[in-house]
Structure 1
Amino acid sequence: MPLPPIIYEDDALLVLDKPAGLPVVVEPGAKQTPTLLDQVREQYGATATNVHRPDAESSGLAVFAKTKPALDFLSGQFQAKTAGQSWHAFVIVRPTGEGAEFWPRDEAQRVPPEFAMDWWIGQDGDRPGAMQAFRRNGGQSARTVFKVEENFGGHALLRCRPESNRRHQLRVHLAAAGLPVLNDALYGLADAPLRLSQIKRGYKGGADEKPMIRQLALHASGLTLNHPLTRAAVAFESPLPVEFEIALKNLRKFGRSQRHGRSRSSN
């Protein structure tokens, strides 16, 4: 199987644009299945190791070190929180009062242009492989900063900047904020797809109408770090998936938009 598109490659570093649905490694609680790491090692050898990885269901930048020194240097940056990450998430804006534990809302009950979540994240004792948010003193500390790029009332596109590296951090924080990621079967709303017939007046899609976005609507779009050989700062970007762009185009045309900014050029 061919590798996903290569964003960057040299003797120490490999950055791929991972499609949704392909696990980087076998995740806790998941069945044994071929992984992106298997593909990378088949081509580059057993020393290649993942450093930064999106969840299997999400898409975007996946980083691999080709050598042990490169792995140590790159992993150290994530542990020290000096590597900068940027993600994009399409979220469902739940109406106030539906029971989420934390609501980032302004006086008009709208999602504010920017907000942060500092809730701790730990294992969900009732669901193997799942995590949960704690207001304080549960699991490990976690922080994510969110910026609303476009707001369409019932849906919004957010830029997410995690300042820690906890499992499922963005998905858990957003769910706790009443803003679950679209198509998140684990933490989000069951059977709540985004279809054109929901936003285009007079359009009837029929029983076979497909959602505009079928993947988990979470994309690893940007990463900055110091190169393991040169020590210079480098930045990598992955464009939004085509499904995201199609949904945005239709929401801008037919949806109720309250935009807080449109630029997605700098991560």
Structure 2
Amino acid sequence: MLLREFLHKEKRFSRRLLTTTKFSGGGLYVNDQEVTVRYVLQKGDNVTVKLPKEVKGDRMVPEQMALTILYEDEHVLVVDKRPNMSVIPSSDHPNGTLANAILYYYDQIGISNTVHFVNRLDRDTSGALLIAKDRFTHHLFSLAQQENLIHRQYTAIAEGVIIPDSGTINEPIARKEGSIIERIVHPNGQRAVTHFKVEDRSDGHTLLSLKLETGRTHQIRVHLASLGHPLLGDSLYGGNDKQINRQALHSTMLTFIHPFLEKQVEVCSPLPPDFKDVLNRSHD
């Protein structure tokens, strides 16, 4: 088999990544000798791919900040994102982001790559966030998402008493006309499916466990608001923000098939203090 076909078909390298490796400072080696993608492999050959140096964006600057790591190995990092923190730098939040904190951590442990987020969380959403340590691992996780091998579970506090005890919200979501941020349930939107289970009811609130079948922007927030039960604190979608200063949404669990270990990994994030405060007050 040609090396090109082996890497593409057996190891799932994209053709784009192989091209980048060839022309951007990386290299392909068989038995420690540099070769081209047209090399014909023999039984017992040892193949090494040296990925090219990654280029960081102008805003991707290391900053020393507290970082809570939930899981880490050679290829994968899962961190516990705190609320009121953007994931990546933007014009509104050019620094102080999770990406800045991870780049500083990378500097400390000798990783020169940029940050590859596999999933994203809104600025005000807290909890477990999955990161690939290099572009190839990120590519494999992208394939895993397409194959439904990455599962996310959230905990939320919604306003009002939700009946029944469990259910599925299957409503398409679209961008609200005239807004670059807000989303709405709309028949012409993208397919969006959220599964929920009631964990507790108290003092006009409902504690929910939710699983996403799709990953649309603001999906949980929009779906619950469409039922008349917006997230507590989610003022954008009609939630009361007097008891908590952000939407009450937390990424509780990530489950994924590790792209190299080929086994299931489950990572959990405990509820943050502001969540616990709301729940404790509601039971007083």
TM over 0.5: yes
In structure 2, what residue type is equivalent to 1:74? Answer: F
Aligned to 1:219: 250
Aligned to 2:181: 129
Aligned to 2:75: 12
Say if 1:22 and 1:36, in contact at 8 Å, map to a contact too: yes
> Superposition pairs for residues 190-209 of structure 1, below 5 Å?
191-194=240-243
Aligned to 1:198: none
| 1:216 aligned counterpart, secondary structure | coil
| 1:52 aligned counterpart, secondary structure | coil
Mapped pair 1:38 → 2:87: no
Q: Which has the higher contact order (CA 8 A, sep 6+)?
A: 1
> Superposition pairs for residues 30-109 of structure 1, below 5 Å?
31-34=92-95, 35-44=97-106, 45-93=112-160
Distance 2:79 2:66 in 1: 8
| 1:76 aligned counterpart, secondary structure | helix
In structure 1, what residue type is equivalent to 2:248? Answer: A
Say if 1:53 and 1:61, in contact at 8 Å, map to a contact too: no
After superposition, the C-alpha distances for 1:200-232 in whole angstroms (9 at most, x for unaligned) are xxxxxxxxxxxxx33321000001001122010
Distance 1:218 1:188 in 2: 15
In structure 2, what residue type is equivalent to 1:123? Answer: R
Change (3 A) 1:176 1:26: farther
| 1:225 aligned counterpart, secondary structure | strand
Say if 2:113 and 2:134, in contact at 8 Å, map to a contact too: no
The alignment's TM-score, normalised by the length of structure 2, stands at: 0.71
After superposition, the C-alpha distances for 1:162-184 in whole angstroms (9 at most, x for unaligned) are 10011111101111011101111
Q: CA deviation at 1:128?
A: 1.7
Aligned to 2:270: 239
Distance 1:250 1:131 in 2: 31
Aligned to 2:209: 159
Equivalenced residue count is 215
| 2:121 aligned counterpart, secondary structure | coil
Distance 1:172 1:133 in 2: 7
Say if 2:102 and 2:115, in contact at 8 Å, map to a contact too: yes
In structure 2, what residue type is equivalent to 1:249? Answer: N
Distance 2:150 2:120 in 1: 13
| 2:233 aligned counterpart, secondary structure | coil
Distance 2:264 2:66 in 1: 26
Distance 2:184 2:172 in 1: 8
Say if 1:78 and 1:165, in contact at 8 Å, map to a contact too: no
Distance 1:42 1:230 in 2: 27
Q: CA deviation at 1:79?
A: 2.7
Distance 2:83 2:166 in 1: 27
| 2:237 aligned counterpart, secondary structure | coil
Mapped pair 1:23 → 2:86: yes
| 2:139 aligned counterpart, secondary structure | helix
Say if 1:20 and 1:216, in contact at 8 Å, map to a contact too: no
Distance 2:282 2:93 in 1: 38
Say if 2:234 and 2:241, in contact at 8 Å, map to a contact too: no
Say if 2:235 and 2:241, in contact at 8 Å, map to a contact too: no
Gaps of 5+ in 1: 95-109, 195-212, 254-267
Distance 2:122 2:225 in 1: 16
Say if 1:86 and 1:221, in contact at 8 Å, map to a contact too: yes
| 2:142 aligned counterpart, secondary structure | helix
| 1:186 aligned counterpart, secondary structure | helix
